Chain A
Amino acid sequence: MTVEQGIFLFISFLILFSGFMMVTRSNLVHAALYLILVLFGVAVLFVLLNAGFLAVVQIIVYIGAIAILMIFAVMLTRGDVTGEAITMNSVFGWGMLLSSLFGFALIIMLGQWPAVTSLAPALPTGWNELVEIGVAFLSPQGFVIPFEVASVLLLAALIGALYVARAPKKGE
């Protein structure tokens, strides 16, 4: 077993364990901390896949922004479900059945696909990931329109979130 495989096995165990703990904890702050562990493990996988820029974006955007926003929301809506003994709703059993069936079906289907055992080809020589991403995002032959649409989407989400979460005015 190579070092890379050892790292992969350790990280995948970490991801699956933390994911399981995340969906079963009743204390939501603990669940959010396990979510951060999962996100960190995924960043390590990105590094293993030669996508270092994505790993940095994963840490900044997911751990730095989204997970912290989750913790804010947990604390702002505290004293309700948090810490309660029952964290699952009444269709708990159906959810377990559905998700395990789905997972096993995915694994069986993957086993029948021939390309699944392929190994990673070498990256092209002179490959510079940041230059490639920058050119792809800003050239008209590339992804400039999705890039602009994503910025409009983020602006709309920002304004929408402000509007929805504002303090209600008097008489409303």
Chain B
Amino acid sequence: MPLSWYLYLAAGLFALGLFGAVARKNAVAILMSVELMLNAVNINIVAFWRYLAPAEIGGQIFAIMVFAVAAAEVAVGLALFISIYNSRKTIAADEINLMKW
């Protein structure tokens, strides 16, 4: 099947994740939507590796780097949310205005 199938699917998944990250109220849901976008990018990376440069392993290495960064991001993000919840009893993104100028 042509490369375009993967790219169209990844475009749709990225748009869904963007919608979630912009429009959701709960901060954990926003973080989940960011994961959707990272997964769309990973589909693109692996599809490009397979279709355009299958002899070089670099494409897969980049996908593994995305995994590592996603894990680090989720760990720190969730720790922040739990800390905010302990002190303010809410994680609604439009009510966390502690640093609002």
Is the Cβ of A54 less than 8 Å from the Cβ of B89?
no
Asked if B72 is at the interface (CB within 8 A of a chain A CB), the reply is: yes
Is the Cβ of B72 less than 8 Å from the Cβ of A157?
yes
CA distance A82 to B33 in the complex (A): 16
B interface majority secondary structure: helix
Is the Cβ of B35 less than 8 Å from the Cβ of A35?
yes
Number of B positions contacting A (CB below 8 A): 74
CA distance A101 to B82 in the complex (A): 34
Is the Cβ of A110 less than 8 Å from the Cβ of B7?
yes
> Whose C-beta in chain B lies nearest to the C-beta of A109?
B11
Number of A positions contacting B (CB below 8 A): 91
Nearest CB of A to B63, in Å? 6
CA distance A90 to B86 in the complex (A): 25
Nearest CB of B to A8, in Å? 6
Is the Cβ of B19 less than 8 Å from the Cβ of A49?
no
Q: A49-B47, A51-B50 are contacts. A16–B25 as well, Cβ < 8 Å? A: no
Q: Which residues of A contact B (CB under 8 A)?
A: 2, 4-5, 8, 12, 15-16, 19-20, 22-23, 28, 31-32, 35, 38-39, 42, 45-46, 49-51, 53-54, 57-58, 61-62, 65-66, 69-70, 72-74, 76-77, 80-82, 86-92, 94-96, 98-100, 102-103, 106-107, 110-111, 115-124, 129, 132-133, 136-137, 142-143, 146, 150, 153-154, 156-158, 160-162, 164-165, 167-168
